[in-house]
Amino acid sequence: MIPYIHRDISWLAFNYRVLQEAKDPNVPLFERLKFLAIYSSNLDEFFRVRVANHRSLLRTGKKTRTSLDFEPSEILTKILKIVNAQQEEFSKIFEKQIVPALKKTGIHILRRKRLNEDQIEFIETYFKDNMLPFVQPVLLVGDKIKPFLNTGSLYLALHLNDINDDKKKSQYAVVKIPSEHLPRFIELPSQEEGRHDIIVLDDIVRHNVRELFPGYDILDSYSIKLTRDAELYIDDEYSGDLISKIKKSLNKRNVGIASRMVYDRQVPKEMLEYLSQVFELSQYDKLPEGRYHNNADFFKLPNFGKEAYLDSPQPPLPIEELEEAESIFDKIYKKDYIVHVPYQSYNSVVKFFEDAANDPKVTHIKIIQYRVAKKSKIMDALRLAVKNGKQVTAFVEVKARFDEEANLIWGEKLEKAGVNVHYSMPGLKVHSKIAMVRRLEGEEGMLYTYLSTGNFHEDTAKIYSDIGIFTANPKLTSEAARVFNYLETKIRPTKPFKYFGVGQFNLKPMLIDLIKNEIKNAENGKPAKIVLKMNSIHDEEMIQYLYKASQKGVDVKMIIRGICSLVPGVKNVSTNIEAISIVDRYLEHARIFMFHNNGDTKIYLSSADWMVRNLHRRVETMFPILDKELQSVIIDLLTIQLMDNVKSRYIHYKDNNVYRKDTTDLPMRSQVETYYYMKRYMDKKNNKVTQP
């Protein structure tokens, strides 16, 4: 049996790296809070999707369809054990580190029993004026009254007694905490200058809950939250109206089967058993947490202008050659350009579409929409282009998880504007990140493309590290045109792709051939090296090829942010494979694949990770970097990341998530170094432009 880590166990190791950032005292205080929020948000989605899937398998008695079969009960048990330990550490980080650190800055998170008279009066008035319509108190009566708990919503579970009941029999109730309607953190009046007192919304409900149950003694209250299965179960994608089926499934998402109930770990055993019975929860559905849930709300904790406790600004670097050009196409015609967000500005990408919309020579615009900002200048430019007589085509992937509704809305807006919209393909997701413009130049016209590792999303371009290129190289633009032709006509291309690797056609075989070439070179005594940067690797066959490469002497370096089912460092299996993960202020999202190729280095950027879903069930695009200057830049960027000794951790079969250290005393934080590298690169480019 080959060494292999279950994808969900590996994912939990990744999420722990996020938690490591929250407990790192070198990270600014409010950034540590942000990482607590990211950890919690990640975990919510994990339970709504992955754990819900295991629960479904457990109910049906099925295993996963792979040679590496597992028992769902075994995986669920491991998941809950790991998450329980992480949640305990989460609570300690918040209570023992974050709360005291906030106090030192003058920010005090107060519980209700520590309020003064003015503050008590304030929260009682606030409750009556703002919260009463939303709290929805319900007395639980065994099997007779079972309130429906909204997925992700916060509730207080109450232990109470009827004051007229001589036997003082325990009764239970639930009350909603209306965090969907009101801020989670409420500032309290404070008479001390420079002091900021805050109370969590939950504790305002706790204080006032007696008003909701006259005639009862409230013995105690504990917070709970239910999350539900978020999978869209579509019986048949191949017949009928797929979009209509997706819309119907979206309506059912928030009423799916419970995949988790989180509860205050102080809940008495008897009360927990009662709640489990009422809400029909099994042993795999319950997860203890601290006093508060929905900790993704830490994103919204006010910082009262304390900028010193945030990351220092890194303003995106403008690509002046493109952003200030009269026509961006005149520049791209002459050479390729790299766009490395968030270090470089995304304005040039927006300008690509805006110039296309207004340029009288442009006849066609094509784009793949996977995730898009709610307010998007790019989408606005597409609608303007139609008004200006362009033929605009957008492929809208509606099955992008948790963006389905937003993509449907944008698709309908584009259709109303006159854009030719194509929607999801049955059985596949379209995950490519490419756009193309056709311009009247010469006899046949000229194609310009933007090829990227990230979505056309102006908001995530500020926090996701992605790389894109502008090119008019016909070797690349012609193959991009064939991808669009397939998406629009659903007719498989008869001519094979030569430069692109495209999911459903040649992507996986092309990657395997590239690995085999390095193996062959190693066997012939030639230098052989592979550097892979991606979000996740899970595909068993690809892992086996990398193991074989390691055994044949190929030097394999990997930078994996998230899931890594491959196990580096195992004797006689993966000795020559070293893997690190970088978690820092920006989310590492770029996919870069570099193959030594006996000195004639091949570099590819891609939309695809090496997951089963990417390599088998999606239309992905991998494209080569043909420009020698851009090749050099990307090699430098990879080198900087491989040298990181501040924010990189080893992925290793023994010392997993141990921070990578080296023999130098010089700290190398790759995301900081990358910013200044790109700044030097841009300054040099600007000097070249201004020279006579």
* Residues annotated catalytic, as ranges: 431
Q: What's CA 351's distance to the chain center, in Å? A: 26
Residue 242 φ/ψ region, left for φ over 0, alpha for ψ in the -120 to 50 degree band, beta for the rest = alpha
All residues at 6 or more sequence positions from 432 whose CB lies less than 8 Å from its CB, including other chains: 368, 483, 502, 503, 607, 619, 620, 621
Strands 587-588 and 258-264: unpaired
Residue 37 and residue 300: Cα distance in Å, rounded?
A: 9
Strand (E) or helix (H) holding 136: none
In degrees and rounded to multiples of 5, residue 71 shows phi and psi of -90, 125
* C-alpha dist (Å) from residue 346 to 75, 321, 352, 605, 690: 41, 13, 10, 18, 23
* C-alpha dist (Å) from residue 124 to 129, 184, 192: 9, 16, 21
Strand (E) or helix (H) holding 62: none
* C-alpha dist (Å) from residue 7 to 54, 60, 75, 151, 574: 12, 21, 10, 25, 18
Which pair of tokens denotes residue 186?
Answer: 């409420």
Residue 595 and residue 590: Cα distance in Å, rounded?
A: 16
Q: Is the dihedral of CA 285, 287, 293, 295 positive or negative?
A: negative
- Rounded to 10 deg, the angle between the 7-23 and 29-46 helix axes is 160
In degrees and rounded to multiples of 5, residue 62 shows phi and psi of -100, 160
Q: Which residues sit opposite 200 in a β-bridge?
A: 185
The DSSP 8-state label assigned to residue 459 in this structure reads T
Residue 78 and residue 557: Cα distance in Å, rounded?
A: 29
